[in-house]
Structures are given as C-alpha cells and as structure tokens.
Structure 1
Amino acid sequence: MLAVYASAPNPDDPLAGLTIGDRPEPQAPEGWVTVNVRASSLNMHDVFTLRGVGIKADRFPMILGCDGAGVLDDGTEVVIHGVVSEDWQGDETLNPKRSLFTEVHQGTFAEKVIVPKRNVLPKPESLSFAEAACMGTAWLTAYRMIFVKSSLRPGQTMLVQGASGGVATALVALGRAAGMRVWATGRTEEKRALATAQGADAVFETGARLPERVDAVFETVGGATWSHSVKSLRPGGEIIISGTTTGEPSTAELQRIFFLQLSVIGSTMGTRDELQDLLSYCAQQSIKPKIGLEVPLEQAEEGFRAMVGGETAGKIVFTQAG
C-alpha cells in the first residue's frame, strides 16, 4: 500500500529520511480495527519523528501521521483518536506508558491503518474527511487547553502566541466561539490576517506591547515568545503551554511568576471523551478547522516542506480517493 514514512532518523535534516512508497498492508489483531484512510493531517510531531525524537531507533521504518479520518470495513465513517493507552483507567494522557501513533505503532499517512477499537469515533456529518482529520491532535490539544486546563470564563481575554499553526488557529476559533475576547500574535502581516479571519478580536506583532494585560496566555512556541507571555499576564493570570516549537526559553522568569502569583499549566493532547465532546461542540456551533494546504498523499513532501519552513496557514492535510 502507498504510505509516507520515515526510513531512518536524521536530527539535522529531517526531510532526508522522508520516503513515499510501498509498505506492507497491516492486519488488525483482536480488539483492533482497520481504517481505510480518506484524509490525514500533518503535525509537528511528525517532524520530530523524522528527527528521531520520541521514537527508538529500532522502530524505523515508521509510517508517519497521528491523525486521520476514514471508513471502517463496514462503511462506518470515523475519526481517529491518536493517543494509544491500553489497560488504563481514567485520563489516558496521564498514563506513563501511553504513546501516539508513530512512536510505537505505525501511523495514519497510508491507505490503511490499524487502531484499537476505542480509538475510533463517529465522524460528524457536518465535517468533511479533510476537516475531521484535523481534530485528533491540534484541535483536541486546543480544546483541552481552553476547556479543561484553563480557568477562563466567557468575556475574559486570552492571548494566543504564534497564531498561524494548527493548534493556534484552533485556539482562536474555539475561544471566539466560547465567548472569550481573543488576541493573537503573528510574525507577519499574513499570519496576523489569518488570525483575524479565524475570529481574533485584535492582532499584534510578535513581542508587541499589549494595550492591557490578559487573563490567560496560550503557548505553543516556547523560547521565542516565553518572556512576552509572562509579561503579558495580569496578576494571578495563567499560561497554558502545550509545546515549545522554538525550544526552551533562556530564562524561566521565575521572579515575575512568584511575585505576581502566576500559574504555569502544562497540557498534552486530550482524552477520547474530550475528542468526542470537541466533535459535538464543532457540530453544534458549526465550527470548521482552517485548512491552509490540502494535497494528495503522494505529494506529502510539499506539506512537510511548508511545515519545516514555518509556512503554515492553518492545518496541512493529505487526502486520498475513496
């Protein structure tokens, strides 16, 4: 079957190990199902896999992709939940043995993928396969950050740093739908325009002084924006962080954090139940993800190059004919 996979890790040149070609068709063991993939979306996690981060060397070659939507053999249209957590009760994101697809199990950038039965949920009719494929990582991460981890209430102000990637565009759209006042930063005029189109009430250049301090900051960037995030908070405010795409900050700003009694809250992915709630919420509110680039699976390298180059404008999606 056609698949997009990492043939070998390369920390310095991740695209060197990116391969598009044939891989063996998977066979589902008991308790697992086969999904005939119609669309899958790219995440920074896939670039990390190409670099060899979070995956053992003996796992290569590894089919990439954490997210997807497709059809079961019986015709049921489904969305894939990317967190694999077997023999665990409760919040699966807290399971120390949890994994994402591509870390232990082969991923979704293929004609077929096998997943545990609990890892498929019904696809809402209101979402296309391409739109549904965006839900499992980026949008689920954003949903958990706002509605599970933060203490924001409608009417309060949230700041989204770097609002052009998948998680950031989801944060803007979900925050706006929930009644927050949404501010966002972007490196370029085009990225700021994208945040406005997604519903941001105000946009600013990266690092710009804000008109007032905010109730919460949503961080996925890391080192490049961390100091600005801390300085942008009102006393008692909170930072919810789910990524560090630009690396660790040079200083933690600990004095400001303790003196102003700020909260720093980590957030990772989300649970199956939260994904179900997210899908229902999007259907009820007629929310659809922003797709910045959609290409056939065999042209996946184009999407990877856009992500590595920082040229994102929403989610990057790979599609396949039914």
Structure 2
Amino acid sequence: MLAAYAARFSPDSPVDGLEVGQRPDPVERENWSVVEVRAASLNHHDLWSLQGVGLREDQLPMILGTDAAGVAPDGSEVIVHGVIGADGHGVGPSERRTLLSEKYDGTLAQYVTVPTANLLPKPAELTFAEAACLGTAWLTAYRMLFTVAALKPGQSVLVQGAGGGVATAAIVLGAAAGLDVTVTSRSGAKRERAKSLGARHAIEPGARVPARVDAVVESVGAATWGHSVRSVKPGGTIAVCGATSGDAPPADLTRVFFQELNIRGVTMGTREELAALTAFCARTGVRPVIDSRFALEDTAAALTRLHEGAQTGKIVVTP
C-alpha cells in the first residue's frame, strides 16, 4: 500500500525525513480492524515524529498520522480514535497509552489497523474529510474547553495563537457553545479570520485582554505563557496541550499560587468525548475548518505548509 512515513530523523528540517512509497499492507489480527482510509489530517505530532520526538531509530520506518476516517471491514463508515492502550481494549490492560504512529503505524496510508474498540460510527452528516479532522486537534480543544475548564455559555476564554488546528477548533466550538472568545495572533489576516469564525476579540500577542478570562487554551508555550498567566481570572484554568514555541520560561509561580490558578495538561481525549464531539458537530452544523487538501502522494507539500505555519484550520490528506 502507499503510505507517508518517517524514514529518518531530521531535527532541523523535518520534512526531509519523510518518504512516500510502498509499505506492507496491515496484517489482520484478533480484536483489531483494518480500515480503508478515505481521509486523514495532519498534526504537529507528525512534524515532531520526523524530528525524532517520541520515536527511536529502531522503530523506523514509521507510518505517520493519528487521525482518519474511512470504511471498516463490514462496510460501515467510521472515525478512528487514535489513542491506543488508554483502556486496554485490543492491547491488554497493562499497555501504556500511545498515539497512532508512536508504537503502531499511523493513518497516512491507504489502510490502517487499530483496535476495533477504537472505531466510532461516522455520522452521515459529516464528510470523510470533516470527520478525519476531529480525532486530535478538535478532540483536544473539546476536552480543554468543556471537560478540563468546564466552561459554560456566557463564560470567557483566551485562545493563544490563531491558525493552528487546536486554536481554530477552540474558536469555533467556543463560539458555538456561547463562550466569549478572545484570540491572539501576530497576523492581521489570521486575526480577521478568527473573528469571522466566531471570536469576539482578536488581539496581538501579549496585548491586554478586554477583561480577564475564565480559561486559557494554551498550545504555544514560551512565547505566550506569561501572557496566559496574566490574562486569566483568579481561580481560572490554563489548559495546556502543546509548546510549539518551546518550553515555558519561569512559570510565574507567585502569581499561580496567589491567584490559585488551575494548570492542566491535555492530550487528545477519550472515546466518549470523541463521540460527544462528533454528535455535537452532526446536530448543530458546526464543522471543522479545512485549510487545504492534498493527495497522499503530496504529503511533503502538506507537511511543509504545516511546518511554515501558513494554515488556518486543518490540512487534509486523501489516499
């Protein structure tokens, strides 16, 4: 089968570690299903893998990708939940949690094999491309807003760094749920785009927020951490899912303990949360923002766009 995989590590130029070519078809095994991939979407996790983060040399070649939607062996249309081992289904109760493309081959291929319990029905209302965007960035945003921060309509959230998959998802989901959304970006075009997606305020990084917020969606790290800590209300929550600009500088612990802030890490979410997110999208008309679409053969160009930060929303790859 055709697949896009990490053939080598390239810390400074991650796309140079990518190859697109033939890999063995998945092998059928008990309690796992082989899914024909109709659409997959990219995440920064794919770039990190190409840089050698979370993989060892002896695991190469590794097929990239954590998200997909496709067709199960029985002909049903499904969404893949890319967290493996979280509850033992298909792998045994003692296996530690990993994401697809960390221990098991990922979704940037014509076929992917996953524990059968990791498959959710794809609603007819969602296209394969839309459904393929939900499993990582949108699921992470959903968990940050509604599980970790437990936000309710009328409350406020600051989303750091408009344009990325998690940030775009948080804007759209937050606005649809009645939240007051403020977003930051260095790009005037991305700030305007964020407002068109439902953000009430769009400001430059580090600028004073109109009012302190109930929660912050933090995926940038070093470049925005101090602003996040200063912008949240006493007792508020900073939900952290990434550090694309590097690890945070000194944590401003005095403000953290004096203001009694809650800081929570988030990596994707549960199957139940993915099912709830999928139902929310199907019933409300909310849809993932798709920046662009590439053929599987053109995965290098797709990853280059992601690496350059040129996108707003999700980049979809179709076999």
Q: TM-score range by the shorter chain?
A: over 0.9
CA shift in 2, pair 1:264/1:96, >3 Å: farther
What does residue range 48-127 of structure 1 map to in structure 2 within 5 Å?
A: 48-85=48-85, 88=88, 97-127=96-126
Residue 304 of structure 1: aligned partner: 303
Distance across 2 between alignment mates of 1:13 and 1:202: 35
Distance across 2 between alignment mates of 1:244 and 1:183: 19
| Equivalent position SS for 1:141 | helix
TM-score normalised by length of structure 2: 0.96
1:166 counterpart = 2:126: no
Per-residue CA shift, 1:175-205, capped at 9, x if unaligned? 1111111111111011112211211111111
Distance across 1 between alignment mates of 2:233 and 2:203: 18
What does residue range 125-140 of structure 1 map to in structure 2 within 5 Å?
A: 125-140=124-139
Residue 37 of structure 2: aligned partner: 37
CA shift in 2, pair 1:318/1:235, >3 Å: same
Per-residue CA shift, 1:74-102, capped at 9, x if unaligned? 2111100000016638xx9x987111011
CA shift in 2, pair 1:96/1:205, >3 Å: farther
What does residue range 242-261 of structure 1 map to in structure 2 within 5 Å?
A: 242-261=241-260
Displacement, 1:26? Answer: 1.1
Using the TM superposition, name which of 307-316 and 40-49 deviates more: 307-316
| Equivalent position SS for 1:68 | strand
Displacement, 1:55? Answer: 1.4
Number of corresponding residues:
317
TM-score normalised by length of structure 1: 0.95
Which amino acid in structure 2 is aligned with residue 53 of structure 1? V
Which amino acid in structure 1 is aligned with residue 258 of structure 2? F
Per-residue CA shift, 1:218-261, capped at 9, x if unaligned? 10110010001111112222211111111112210111111112
| Equivalent position SS for 1:196 | helix
Which amino acid in structure 1 is aligned with residue 80 of structure 2? I
Distance across 1 between alignment mates of 2:191 and 2:243: 20
Which amino acid in structure 2 is aligned with residue 251 of structure 1? P
Name structure 1 gaps, 5 residues minimum: none
Distance across 2 between alignment mates of 1:286 and 1:255: 43
Contact 2:182/2:209 (CA < 8 Å) preserved in 1?
no
Which amino acid in structure 2 is aligned with residue 118 of structure 1? A
Residue 7 of structure 2: aligned partner: 7
CA shift in 2, pair 1:95/1:190, >3 Å: farther
Distance across 2 between alignment mates of 1:61 and 1:175: 38
Name structure 2 gaps, 5 residues minimum: none
What does residue range 162-311 of structure 1 map to in structure 2 within 5 Å?
A: 162-311=161-310
Distance across 2 between alignment mates of 1:19 and 1:254: 44
Distance across 2 between alignment mates of 1:278 and 1:119: 15
Distance across 2 between alignment mates of 1:252 and 1:108: 36
